[in-house]
Amino acid sequence: MLGAAGVTDPAARHSDALLACVAVSKQFGDVQVLFDVSIALHAGEVHALIGENGAGKSTLMKILSGYLPPTGGEIVFDGAARQFSSSEAAEDAGIVLIHQEFNLAEQLTVEANIFLGREIKRGLFLDVKTMRARAQALLAALETKIDPTARVQDLAVPDKQMVEIAKALARDARVLILDEPTAVLTPKESLVLFRQIARLKAQGVAILYTSHKLDEVSAISDKITVLRDGRHVITAPAADLTEHDMARQMVGRDLSELFPPKLPPMVAETVLEVAGLSVPGYVTDASFHLRRGEILGFAGLVGSGRTELMEGLMGLRPSEGAVSVMGKPVHIRSAADAARLGLAYLTEDRKGRGLLLRSRMRPNLTLLALDRFSRILIDEAAEDRALDQAIREFDIRAPSRTVAVGNLSGGNQQKLLLAKTMLIEPEIVIIDEPTRGIDIGTKQQIYGFVQRLAAAGKSVIVISSEMAEVIGLSHRVMVMRLGRITGELEGEAIGEESIVRYAMGLDSMTKDHRAEDRLHAAR
């Protein structure tokens, strides 16, 4: 079928697709973020959508699922052009989006969130018994022990992600769109999700999946589409693209050297000494030291106590033990104490605890160092100059200086958080999950920044759940398990097998510690 200009009708061209977008564009004010993008999703197929932060992936997913209208182009569903007035209308048609950012009502229970807006009723009343039973069945399918009656605000971040997934599964989707679903999941939890994806695929559900973890994309996808700067680059069978091919298409350059060369620490001077630090309920008797110009990695499974150890060190949690900075014993009871001693901490939760998402970049940047920009009134001109410098130094890319930080891509939010932290000029920098949810090109930038910090004589602690990241960056690696430091590796001894053995308790664990493991598991 031909249109007035003799061009094949988009709906006819995509009649074999369950859901497609045809030449879709999107503008926010004067800023265009998508340029004539086309993608087709087929029943029983996993289609991966990848690209750097800011490439337009989340915007395209929101258009496909009714959260945003396109500025131009067309959405085709079941062979016919459609316009969804809202996400609810798209869900009614069977198109469900699992957001990268949690879309949960924190004050409500798990079961209430799973059925929110689609409650099951018996007459005029809610059928709580049926909803609880179905919620339990959905959570059991995800192999999680989450209590359906627990309030979402009391759940850990990975459990909240599982609730989001259960909520989507309850919708009986024909099209399931997943935006970075494994960013906060453990490898074991990710495998559970992949089994659910395989089950839905076998049932004929069309799945659109985005992730910065290219090994995941390669493992579960049938087709892959790459976006770059809001434009379609390539769509190809997953079997035809290696991870290296994907990375090159995403950034438009070769990324064969993702990690910068390791430079030896400048001097043997110890800048931080921690002895017998305990954080009640999380960490027991942790001891380590940090040298000038060194990158010290902390590895371990989720729940091993790495984050809690650093929060205890920084005065963000109650702790006991001895700490020395530059050879002098210190007592750190707050983040302000730590800052005065030259310590800075970049939280793993940049959205919840690191940045003010509804505020602009300038107040976010200067918040920690506000005393440098104020006497009686805040010197906004000085803040603007600091923002100019941060944008240049950290390559922060934003459509405008007045944009709300929540509207920046994850990579640019992380760069802003780095700039904010470095504005107080710390000597010791602790970075928790430096590249979680960040594209491979921005990862390379952040790795280079960490290396330059060390080369300038700063001392850096990196906590990461990505094995390659710990190995690629660190001069030494401390491994934790169940709240204890179980191993230390340096230089050529740093390797995946050695880290895994310490993390799993196969090395450097006494029988007493194994008994503690069993007690911990019983609790």
Last residue of a domain, one of 406, 424, 442: 424
Contacts of 401 (CB under 8 A, 6+ apart): 360, 361, 362, 387
Looking at mean pLDDT, say which of 308-312, 372-376, 452-456 comes out highest. Answer: 308-312
Query: What is the DSSP annotation of 316-382?
Result: SS--EEEEEETTEEE---SHHHHHHTTEEEE-S-IIIII--TTS-HHHHHHSTTGGGGBSSSB-HHH
Q: Has residue 401 got a pLDDT over 60?
A: yes
Are 86 and 198 in a shared domain? Answer: yes
What crossing angle do the helices spanning 380-394 and 410-422 adopt, rounded to 10°?
120
Q: Which residues contact 307 (CB under 8 A, 6 or more apart)?
A: 348, 432, 463
Q: How confident is the model at residue 8 (pLDDT cuts 50, 70, 90)?
A: very low
The residues pairing with 346 across neighbouring beta strands, listed in sequence order, are 431
Candidate from 318-327, 410-419, 454-463 with smallest mean pLDDT: 410-419
Do 180 and 168 belong to one domain? Answer: yes
Tens digit of each residue's pLDDT (9 = 90 or more) over 412-431: 898 999 999 888 899 999 99
Look at 467 and 321; give whichever has higher pLDDT.
Answer: 321
Same domain, 262 and 222: no
Q: In terms of DSSP bridges, do strands 46-50 and 121-122 run parallel, antiparallel, or are they unpaired?
A: unpaired
Total-model pTM: 0.62
Long-range contacts of 506-512 (CB under 8 A, 24+ apart): 509/481
**Are 445 and 461 contained in the same domain?**
yes
Residues 454 and 523 in one domain: yes
Q: Do 412 and 311 belong together in one domain?
A: no
Q: Which of 57-66, 102-111, 319-328, 488-497 has the lowest mean pLDDT?
A: 102-111
3-state secondary structure 149-185: CCEHHHCCHHHHHHHHHHHHHCCCCCEEEEECCCCCC
Task: Give the pLDDT mean for 392-397.
Answer: 89
In whole angstroms, give the CA distance from residue 320 to residue 283.
10
pLDDT score at 512: 44
Q: Which of 424, 447, 468 is the last residue of a domain?
A: 424
Helix (H, G, I), strand (E, B) or coil at 402: coil
Least confident segment among 416-420, 469-473, 497-501: 497-501
Q: Which residues pair with 462 in a beta bridge?
A: 297, 431
4 pLDDT above the threshold of 60: no
Q: Which residues contact 29 (CB under 8 A, 6 or more apart)?
A: 399
Question: Which pair of tokens denotes residue 231?
Answer: 């434009």
Share of the chain above pLDDT 90, in %: 44
pLDDT in tens, 230-271: 899 999 999 999 988 888 888 776 656 778 888 877 667 899
- Provide the CATH number for the domain around residue 159: 3.40.50.300
pLDDT classification of 213: cutoffs 50, 70, 90: confident
* One domain for residues 415 and 438: no
- Residues 117, 101, single domain; the answer is yes
Q: What pLDDT, on the 0 to 100 scale, is given for residue 14? A: 60
